[in-house]
Amino acid sequence: MSTRVAELAVDEFKRLLEETVEQKLLEMFGDPDEGLELREGIKARLRRSLEAQRRGTRGIPAQEVAAQLGLEW
């Protein structure tokens, strides 16, 4: 059973469109980071971040980071 585009809700159509565009871009350009390795410093930072998250420690709120960078949130 196939669904017609006219039968989709707006949010369903948007999701379909986003997925289609993402898939096509991946087909055309691939993953530019594929095959690259993370530096040891980055790996360590990610491990610390994941461990902090497991302990329930929260990071800096996005609004605060945006304010520090002079960006509007």
The CA distance from 61 to 73, in Å, is: 11
The CA distance from 29 to 21, in Å, is: 12
15's enclosing H/E stretch is: helix 10-29
CB 34 within 8 A of CB 40: no
Cα dist from 15 to 9, 30, 58, whole Å: 10, 21, 30
pLDDT tens per residue across span 16-69:
999 999 999 989 998 888 899 999 999 999 999 999 989 998 888 899 999 999
Q: What is the pTM of this model?
A: 0.43
